């Protein structure tokens, strides 16, 4: 049950930090053909990666903490690994974050110099508010 409460913190953090990011995204729309395809591109908005149902399963991390993570994406767009660059201070929270992201997130794969699908990485930071 302890692991179930952890998602509450993730969802809470996303709810508090995503409106500003969503507003910024509305102001800057980049045409698809102008996107930097040397890196993987998420197929969905990061703010949708956690659901309200997840909130019941997560316990919050203390406010002010953050987790920086790297998703390793294969040439099909599947997340094949997740590593933590900066820990939240809780290995349990870090592992749960990676497990959730690996299960839910897919990408448009990066493209190599010949415009062929290639493996790549996607870096992000989750702020715990």
**2-18 tens-digit pLDDT:** 444 444 444 444 444 44
Report which of 93, 117, 127, 115 is spatially closest to residue 6, judged by C-alpha positions: 93
pLDDT, residue 121, reads 97
Asked if 59 contacts 8 with a C-beta cutoff of 8 angstroms, the reply is: yes
Strand pairing of 66-73 and 79-86?
A: antiparallel
**38-72 tens-digit pLDDT:** 999 999 988 888 776 665 455 566 666 788 999 99
The whole-model pTM stands at: 0.70
């Amino acid at each position: 049950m302890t692991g179930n409460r952890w998602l509450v913190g993730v969802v809470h953090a996303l709810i508090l930090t995503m409106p500003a990011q969503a507003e910024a995204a509305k102001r800057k729309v980049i045409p698809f053909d102008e996107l930097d395809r040397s890196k993987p591109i998420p197929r969905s908005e990061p703010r949708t990666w956690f659901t309200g149902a997840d909130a019941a399963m997560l316990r919050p991390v203390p406010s002010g903490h953050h987790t920086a993570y790297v998703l390793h994406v294969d040439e099909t767009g599947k997340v094949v690994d997740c590593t933590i660059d900066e820990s939240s201070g809780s290995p349990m929270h870090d592992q749960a974050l990676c497990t959730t992201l690996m299960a839910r997130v897919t990408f448009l794969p990066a493209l190599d110099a010949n415009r062929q699908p290639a493996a790549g990485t996607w870096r992000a930071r989750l702020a715990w508010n």
